[in-house]
Structure 1
Amino acid sequence: MYREDRLPQSPKEGLIFMLIISIISVNTIAPIIMGLQFGFSKGNYLETLKVIPIMWIIVIILVRFVAGPLVGRVMPKFVGQTDGFNARVLLNT
């Protein structure tokens, strides 16, 4: 089976990749949503920082144990042998 070199190749690389992506996502998305809802201010950002560790853990658990298995079951129905990397990443996302 063909392995894509642009994706993590081992569980250690997968964990590091997931940590980096999730930290970037949580630290970007949560403050923007809070800012849009309550206004952009230093106080609101600091309040967001209190919630981020809890939400980060929840996101990791959901991705690992809910989204991952679902994608694993659904992807073979939509992805063909000739589909490229971009198509697979798009469908995975």
Structure 2
Amino acid sequence: MDFYMKLPRRKREFTLFLFVLSFISMNIIAPLITCFEVNFSLQTWAHIFQVMPMLWPAVGATVLITYKPADFLTRKFTAHDDSFRAKVTMNILCTVFLMSIILTVVGSWIGAQQISMEPISRFFYKWPRNFAISLFVEIFIAQPIARQVMFVLHKRLDSRKAVLASAP
């Protein structure tokens, strides 16, 4: 039941789910990582919001690139009869793992507005922190909100179908 009610059923719903998820994630993860990287200041925060229009498509593309590999890994690490929470948590873990690898480098390039070797040479210093921040935000904030949006949407759609089906 949770799979049916709390996850997207169609492409349009997947788009909405992805929008909600990426909007929340971008507005929490990017500022936190940048502030840990540079410093916590109003000027840093303002710079992040100037860069977000360039970073958001990269995040969306990374989600689409990592979707199938994360799904494959999730199926490898979970059993068919595992609970909804177990499967969703493993999927979040696999997705964040793959996305954080890519975005630790690409996100740094977009944020600095230049391609350099610095994010690659400091990868093993930066990635664990980025992974931990992203995993926390995804598990406890972004994913639950996006799943709740899907649940509310599906309740409304299902109640409309029920009303239309019962109408003479």
Structure 2 match to 1:42: 42
- Give % identity: 29
Runs of 4+ in 1 over 6 A off after TM superposition: none
Q: Deviations over 1:60-86 (max 9, x none)?
A: 101112x11102322322222210100
Structure 2 match to 1:10: 10
Mark the runs of 5 or more structure 1 residues left unpaired by the alignment: none
Structure ranking higher on relative contact order (CA contacts 8 Å, 6+ apart): 2
Range with bigger deviation, 67-76 or 51-60? 67-76
Query: What one-letter code is carried by the residue in structure 2 that aligns with 1:91?
Result: M
- Whether the aligned pair in 1 keeps the contact of 2:74 and 2:90 (CA below 8 Å) is yes
Query: What one-letter code is carried by the residue in structure 1 that aligns with 2:59?
Result: V
Residues 85, 35 of structure 1: CA spacing in aligned structure 2 closer, same or farther, 3 A cutoff?
same
- RMSD of aligned Cα (Å): 1.7
Mark the runs of 5 or more structure 2 residues left unpaired by the alignment: 93-168
Number of residue pairs matched by the alignment: 91
Aligned residue runs from structure 1 range 1-93, under 5 A: 3-65=3-65, 67-93=66-92
SS where residue 8 of structure 2 aligns? coil
SS where residue 80 of structure 2 aligns? coil
Query: What one-letter code is carried by the residue in structure 1 that aligns with 2:32?
Result: I
Distance 1:3 1:86 in 2: 10
TM-score, normalising length from structure 1? 0.85
Larger radius of gyration: 2
TM-score, normalising length from structure 2? 0.50
Distance 2:58 2:24 in 1: 15
Q: CA deviation at 1:47?
A: 0.7
Q: CA deviation at 1:36?
A: 2.1
Query: What one-letter code is carried by the residue in structure 1 that aligns with 2:89?
Result: L
